Chains A and B, each alone.
Chain A
């Protein structure tokens, strides 16, 4: 069993108005040193695959087809083996 931790974020060129609103709220809380905020999505996916490579292949296909929209988002992930339960 493998656990994939996947982050999907907007490409830098994409406007992220939610993150701007969050940054403004931080400034209202007097965290004036905050200069930039980016918001994304985080997924934990457990995969029953024979090898780490096989799990990565599946995770990439899942990201390309479902979790990220390639027009505006990018993704990165880490796969780690889970101890036998």
Chain B
């Protein structure tokens, strides 16, 4: 069984959705790990869930980046193992310096909760290999601060190194270059605002999200 860790901070609220996506739908092993954990070496993947860690006090992810578990997350990422941050998890990964850029307030200052059409901009990553190149998919978004911002030099690097994994088809929040999800340069850390764990069963309106987790499983099976 592939072992997924779901890190739960005070204020995380998508941790159980992720847990059930992995156990009920991907049929692999998942453990909800508290923010106080210091050793994650037994796991194959770390998932950083959405929600409002530490109430989003100061800025989304600004307090979570100092949680005890984050040292273990950084060591895990530096070892080349996969780390996936979703929504607030994406904000935490940028604040922690594991991904470039920042998530700002949405351009229109509204919280958006909608199924959102996306494009798989790069299917050559361990998180997206189960998708077709440029595949059009739909995943739910639910955020007030999802407006991805980086400076022009960083954007040029993201493009040159094929770090843009997902883009919006109809930019809902003002993100630079329609960015919905990016990887780090090494390709083993992905941050995305859309929620793949909310699109894993037909009753949720679609199952496109399951392919993110299937991609990770395929990459894992190639290494064991």
| Partner-B contacts on A (CB < 8 A) | 14-15, 17-18, 21, 41, 66-67, 69, 71-72
Contacts and interface: CB of A to CB of B under 8 A. Distances in A.
18 contacts: A14-B104, A15-B104, A17-B105, A17-B106, A17-B108, A17-B109, A18-B105, A21-B109, A41-B58, A66-B62, A66-B66, A67-B58, A69-B59, A71-B94, A71-B102, A71-B150, A71-B151, A72-B149
B174 interface: yes
Nearest to B147: A15
Interface string B86-120: 00000000110000011011111100000000000
Nearest to A21: B109
- Could you say which interface size class chain B belongs to? 10 to 19
Contacts, number: 32
B95 A15 contact: no
A73 to B, nearest CB: 9
Interface secondary structure of A, over-half rule? mixed
A69 B62 contact: yes
A71 to B, nearest CB: 4
Contacts of A14: 104, 149
Interface in B116-158: 147, 149-151
Nearest to B149: A72
A71 B101 contact: yes
Across chains A and B, which 6 residue pairs bring their CB atoms closest together, nearest first? A71-B102, A17-B109, A72-B102, A17-B105, A69-B102, A21-B109
